[in-house]
Chains A and B, each alone.
Chain A
Amino acid sequence: MNRLLLILTALILALSGQVLAKNRCESLVLSGGAHLFPYFFHSSDALPDRIDSSTRAMLSRRHGSVGDTVLTALSRAGIAGHVAPPKPWRRMLLEVSRGQIDIIAGALKSDGRQDLLEFSDVIDYSEFHLFVKSKDSFTYRHPEDLKGRRGVKVLGMSFGPEFDDFAFNNLTFEEVPEYSSIFRMVAAGRAFFTVFHRESGGRLVRELGLERDLIMLPNIVAQEPIYVAYSKKSPCQSELAQVRKEIRMMKKKGEIERISSYYQQFLEVNSNREPGIHILVGENR
């Protein structure tokens, strides 16, 4: 009798677990960095200040190039997508590690993150640009142009293996813990240049009130591939497999590139590459 009760209880628990998991997986939770425009934004409130109200209205139902890609793939797979409210990056990783967030729409790849996340093919590229004092503006063509000039970067920050390798062997970088410090040090003359993501760098410069002191050079220094990252701890692995399949198909059909090009119009500085510019790319397109 006792054994029968035990089996029945186990059966009920297993079934209820399946039902719960099924309900949970009818809608997948996605999130992304709080300042990752144009690749991801939670809502139009998170758009950069410089974007006017009509454009805001236009983008109000969108979530950036990678966010839109994920939502389109979810829709095609017949799965609802729920964009989680913005959270600090570390908190988001903790929730990913517990399977509370299923997808990160826009992440750079690193060895540590691969323990936690499964990465898609490359979805887009984040561009690194040089920020220098306005009066020190020059035409950047090649990393060799930076030789003999003192740079500053955020502690431990990577610009992709190719640029990192060049910098290690040829450049002098001071490393500081705060994002804001790198721009302030360039403005104060403590360093000649810093390298940072185009959009978020421009936003930080404005937030620090340094837009008159600093200029972002238009030519790209390096690119880092951006991926969709899937939680390995998500209870909805079969649904994630469908999303992965849809994203691969979208990439094959060029749809992802079209979504990405749509967002190019909103970028801060047009980085049309001049002939002869050497761009360091973290991973071939």
Chain B
Amino acid sequence: MYGIPDGNQSIAISASKRAESDFKAPLSTTVLDGSRILRSGATNVPEALRLVPGLIVREVSNGVYTVHIRGIDNVPPLNRPTTLNNRLILLMINGQSMYDYFDGGINWSALPVSVENIDRIEVIRGPASALYGTNAVQGVIHIFTRKGTASRALEISTNQGSSGLSTLQGAMEGLLNDTSWRFSGFRNERDRHDEQYYIYADQQYRSAININIPSAQGNPFPEPDRAMESQGLSLRLNNPEEYIFHYDIGLTHQEASSHRMYLYDETPLSDTRERSNTLNARVQYGQVDFRASYQDGDSETSGLPDFTTQKKNTQASIEYSYRLPHWVIRPGISYEKSRYRSDYLGGKKTLETRSALLRSEYRPTPEARIVAALRYDDYRRPSDGYFSYQLLGSYALDPQNLLRAGVMTANRSAFMTTHYLELQFPVPGVPDRQINIESDPEAELTKGISYEIGWRSLLQFNHWFEIEAYYTELEDFSAYVNQGTTNIGGTDIDRRVLQNLPVRAKQLGLMFNWGYEGVSWDITANASWQDTRLHNQPDNLSSPLSTSDIDSQSTPEWYGGIDISWRPHPKWDLNSQMYFMKSYALLAGTPDPLYYSPSRWILNLSARHTFSTGVTGSMGVRNLSNSDSPQSHYTDPTDPYLWLGLQVRWED
């Protein structure tokens, strides 16, 4: 009305570190609004991420997931099923990295946030290390949680369903002078559909009481019926963003336990627990942006007491935004330190990174934008520095059509199990035989480069599509390679040494995303196609390595989804979300390395009814599918479940 574009645009911050329309974002970006997440009936973050194009979300156990962006990862290392977890995504909550530096990746069950407390999720597909540093190799998932509002409010919501689904969330918020506050808490529970575990050696599922896992000390599965439970508390305090001095402080506590793909070699699932306390603070003074966070926590795995780990993570950064006509220049420095203490690691170990970055954005004409960003990460382990960069260009053919192209690089960080491990242990049940595991502190870090072109078009203010094509290469994967057996002093010693693999993964992909909004309904649909080839893929992990070129089958060739929302009456909101994945074959270093997953579609249906202002009821069914076979490597089968929900909000 006021001369603002009418198109279906959301505000994206993560792609340029400042607010812009997602239509104009220079990177492949999707913004998922909190209200859309709730409308879809999603009860946790990975379920919500199935609404985002280009994401592969696989269920490991009920409510426990792995998430991959575009899927050119977890392919080359063959040593353990853990490598099927994604280690190349950077997940941030309000700017704080949630990366697990012990074994790499993200524990999606232990996020200190419930879907009801999410304001929006921004997803960047493709490398973004030049913006956010290490581990943003395949992309960034950035969760923004809700802030307090000016009015005093109390909200409570719950979902109860079959398969032990139980969620409870509560929040209070208000304004104290200029400070808005929001205090929230949640608890989520899910039961496993089946109490059995797959045993690689037996090549079949067995009941928990019949399992013999040689490496376990004690009971590896004390709660075989429980898939996951998590709970958390958070407090957020902030003054208005418009102030010259703006602060935004978050305190969180979370506890979670879940069956996830983690440490055991004999069976895909491990029963893990994690606790953490976090302080995350952002202070802005004019154009200076300072952020610091501290996380203190511990984690343990049932049956593996040596793996009990205490962690302390510190992150700090300061950036300055300098504006001129045509230009925005953003220099900055950052520091990150991760300390893990564990018997498995042989005591306290530290990873430390110092970084400097410079991002510059130049607009030669109102239609054109050129972005160049360069970042240097100086690692303590390996004692090496890595440059990452972005060179992006976009051009608006007219206000309804935007073309963009870019080349981006990124690299992964070191983590404890690759750069700090020195283990010597006897082989259980085999006398005079020992396994030595030797990490390489100077192993090269996995790095990649991606080339992208994209076209976004607003056919009308309520009708849009985007198409993008990309080509990505990754190299410097590492894995523990068996060096053979040597006899020293009458003991046979198997040496497994971390080394970089010669493999080079190459992926070509296309993504199509389309949306239409009507008066009482809207629809979005997306589909991604990819082809991944592995050059010099080791045939096995024994030295000397023999290699061959293969087509990777671990990522579905096609995947995507269709989301339809219909509001037949102002008080009713009906939602149908279908997610589909073509067949894939996951490869891991196990006795039966190949797991074949058939093509499947998964349908989630939900209905919401507003009884009165602030009182909403909902119900739905999730996981209707043509296949109940496990979605990940010999993990739990998936079953449909029904749920009922109630959301109440009182406001002054």
A residues within 8 Å of B by Cβ? Answer: 33, 35-36, 89-91, 93-95, 97-98, 100, 107-108, 110-113, 115-116, 150, 154-159, 164-165, 168-172, 174-177, 179, 181, 184-185, 187-190, 196-197, 200, 224
- A116's partner among B3, B326, B461 (CB-CB below 8 A) is B461
CA distance A196 to B325 in the complex (A): 20
B5: chain A residues within 8 A (beta carbon): 110, 112, 156
- B325's partner among A91, A100, A171 (CB-CB below 8 A) is A171
Whether B399 is near chain A, meaning CB under 8 Å from some CB there, is yes
B462: chain A residues within 8 A (beta carbon): 90, 93-94, 97
The answer on a CB contact under 8 Å between A190 and B20 is no
Closest residue to B11 on the A side, CB-wise? A177
CA distance A65 to B512 in the complex (A): 45
Whether B488 is near chain A, meaning CB under 8 Å from some CB there, is no
In the A-B complex, the 3 residue pairs with the closest CB atoms:
A184-B242, A33-B1, A185-B242
Whether B243 is near chain A, meaning CB under 8 Å from some CB there, is yes
CA distance A159 to B11 in the complex (A): 21
The answer on a CB contact under 8 Å between A157 and B3 is yes
B242: chain A residues within 8 A (beta carbon): 176, 181, 184-185, 187-188, 190
The answer on a CB contact under 8 Å between B244 and A190 is yes
A210 CB to nearest chain B CB (Å):
11
Known: A94-B518, A110-B6, A116-B461. 10 other contacts (CB 8 A): A98-B519, A155-B4, A156-B21, A157-B3, A159-B3, A170-B325, A181-B242, A184-B240, A188-B244, A190-B286
A188: chain B residues within 8 A (beta carbon): 240, 242-244
Closest residue to B399 on the A side, CB-wise? A111
Closest residue to B24 on the A side, CB-wise? A156
A105 CB to nearest chain B CB (Å):
12
B213 CB to nearest chain A CB (Å):
53
A168: chain B residues within 8 A (beta carbon): 325-326, 363, 366
B592: chain A residues within 8 A (beta carbon): none
* Residue contacts A-B, CB under 8 angstroms, 30 given: A33-B2, A36-B1, A90-B6, A90-B462, A93-B6, A93-B462, A94-B462, A108-B3, A110-B6, A110-B399, A112-B400, A113-B6, A113-B461, A115-B460, A116-B460, A116-B461, A156-B21, A158-B3, A169-B325, A169-B326, A170-B325, A172-B325, A175-B19, A177-B11, A179-B2, A185-B242, A188-B240, A190-B243, A196-B2, A200-B2
CA distance A115 to B518 in the complex (A): 16
Whether B7 is near chain A, meaning CB under 8 Å from some CB there, is yes
The answer on a CB contact under 8 Å between B460 and A174 is no
Closest residue to A181 on the B side, CB-wise? B242
B518: chain A residues within 8 A (beta carbon): 94
B residues within 8 Å of A by Cβ? Answer: 1-7, 9, 11, 19-21, 240-244, 286, 323-326, 363, 366, 398-400, 458, 460-462, 517-519
A176: chain B residues within 8 A (beta carbon): 19, 242
CA distance A115 to B323 in the complex (A): 35
CA distance A172 to B323 in the complex (A): 7
CA distance A94 to B8 in the complex (A): 12
B461 CB to nearest chain A CB (Å):
6
Closest residue to B9 on the A side, CB-wise? A156
B241: chain A residues within 8 A (beta carbon): 181
B243: chain A residues within 8 A (beta carbon): 188, 190
B406 CB to nearest chain A CB (Å):
22
CA distance A159 to B3 in the complex (A): 7
The answer on a CB contact under 8 Å between B7 and A112 is yes
CA distance A133 to B6 in the complex (A): 30
With A89-B6, A112-B458, A190-B244 in contact, is A155–B366 under 8 Å at CB? no
With A33-B1, A94-B462, A188-B243 in contact, is A112–B6 under 8 Å at CB? yes
